[in-house]
Amino acid sequence: MKAKVQLGQLLLEKKLVTQDQINEALRLQVSGGRRLGYLLIKMGYISDEQLLKALAEQLEVPIINIDEKFSNEVRATIPRYLCQKYGLIPLCRKNHNVLSVAMADPMDRQAIDDIEHYTSLVVEANLAKHNEIDRAIKQYIPLSLKDIFNPQSFGVVAKTATALLFVIFVVMSFFAARYVYHEKYGTITMADSSVIYKNHDIMISVDQSGKYSLLGRGARATGFYSVTFENIDQLKSFLALKKTDFSEKQYEWINWTISHRIEKSMPGKG
């Protein structure tokens, strides 16, 4: 293998790209952390074949077939997110702690150093097409927890988790608030020509004729109430007489409902 040079320099020497094109790709590379060769291909400045041919000539190495070289024993050696980050895939493990990998850019010293540090193995770089590496990563490298909880994807995971927790918080707050409201004030429903107020096992029904009914069970009473009154004053008098039949919550709610809901809805009041 010949002495290595920077990929950008090699492509300039072969007149495959211009300095302006290199500069533009480098600017995008800094902002997104993508590999230079990948960007130049995606930006349409060079083709996958042109890049591969230039590297093969410079490094004097053959272009390998990943499917022929890949060994299942290295499937979990490098997580998928690192394979995608550096545009490479492990192929097999050789003697003397050597890990053979296929790379779109075997001249990428940073990628090799990082993989050697991650695996504690010596990397032997081989050349393969960008699109073949992308396909092989999806086919051969399984997803793992490392692919979820890593610096690259953690930001997305954290944002998604935060948004989900916020939604759960809002929903729980809504139901909690509704529960507290119903616990204190009860519910109001319409049935035929009546309005029914309900809470704490007690119902007060008001029909259109102006009659009032008290239904349900007092906490300290025996049996159930089903009493109808001609007017609100009769209902209030009955409650005063039977006050001890009700729990404190029941009695407070009944009186609050009469004064704040029923009487305020009467014509001339409010």
Domain end call among 118, 148, 178: 148
190: containing domain:
186-265
Site of tokens 């320099």: 9
Looking at the structure, do residues 136 and 192 belong to the same domain, yes or no? Answer: no
Q: Is 103 part of any domain?
A: yes
Q: Is 175 part of any domain?
A: no
Q: Full-prediction pTM beyond 0.75?
A: no
pLDDT single digits (tens) 12-46: 988 999 999 989 988 887 766 677 888 888 899 99
C-alpha 46/C-alpha 50 separation (Å) is 6
Q: With 70 as the cut, is the pLDDT of residue 141 above it?
A: yes
| pLDDT tier at 1, thresholds 50, 70, 90 | very low
**Half-sphere CA count of 31, side-chain side, radius 13 A:** 7
Q: Is 237 part of any domain?
A: yes
Q: Is 248 part of any domain?
A: yes
pLDDT single digits (tens) 173-201: 888 887 777 778 889 988 778 899 999 99
